[in-house]
Structure 1
Amino acid sequence: MNIFLLGYMGSGKSHIGKQLAEDLGYKFTDLDEEIEIQEKANIPEIFESKGEVFFRKMERHMLEKVLKSDSSSVISLGGGTPCYGNNMEIIKESPTATTIYLKLKVENLTRRLFSEKDHRPLISHLDSPEKLEEFIRKHLFERGFYYNQSEHIINCDSKSPEEIISEIKTRLG
Structure 2
Amino acid sequence: MPGHVAIVGYMGSGKTTVGRLLARNTGRAFVDLDAEVSRRAGVSIPGIFAEHGEERFRDIEREALLEALAREENCVVSCGGGAVLRPENRAALRGTPTVFLREDIDVLYARTRGANRPLRGGSREDFARRYAERLPLYQEVADVEVDADGRSAAAVVEEVERCLSRL
Which TM-score applies when normalising by structure 1?
0.90
How many residues are treated as equivalent by the alignment? 162
User: 2:15 maps to which residue?
Assistant: 13
User: 1:142 maps to which residue?
Assistant: 133
2:81 to 67, 79, 89: 79
User: 2:36 maps to which residue?
Assistant: 34
> Sequence identity of aligned pairs in percent?
30
Q: Which runs of 5+ in 2 are unaligned?
A: none
What CA distance in whole angstroms lies between the structure 2 residues aligned with 1:172 and 1:90?
18
User: 2:97 maps to which residue?
Assistant: 98
User: 2:144 maps to which residue?
Assistant: 152
Provide Cα deviations, 1:117-138, integer angstroms capped at 9, x if missing partner: xx101123x3xxxx1x212210
What CA distance in whole angstroms lies between the structure 2 residues aligned with 1:18 and 1:43?
20
1:123 to 114, 120, 134: 120
Paired residue type of 2:149: D
Paired residue type of 2:30: F
Secondary structure at the counterpart of residue 44 of structure 1: helix
What CA distance in whole angstroms lies between the structure 2 residues aligned with 1:111 and 1:123?
11
User: 1:169 maps to which residue?
Assistant: 161
What CA distance in whole angstroms lies between the structure 1 residues aligned with 2:70 and 2:139?
24
Secondary structure at the counterpart of residue 97 of structure 2: strand
| Offset at residue 115 of structure 1 (A) | 3.0
Q: What is the CA RMSD across the aligned residues, in angstroms?
A: 1.0
Which TM-score applies when normalising by structure 2?
0.93
User: 2:48 maps to which residue?
Assistant: 46
Moved over 4 A (4+): none
Q: Which runs of 5+ in 1 are unaligned?
A: none
2:91 to 82, 89, 92: 89
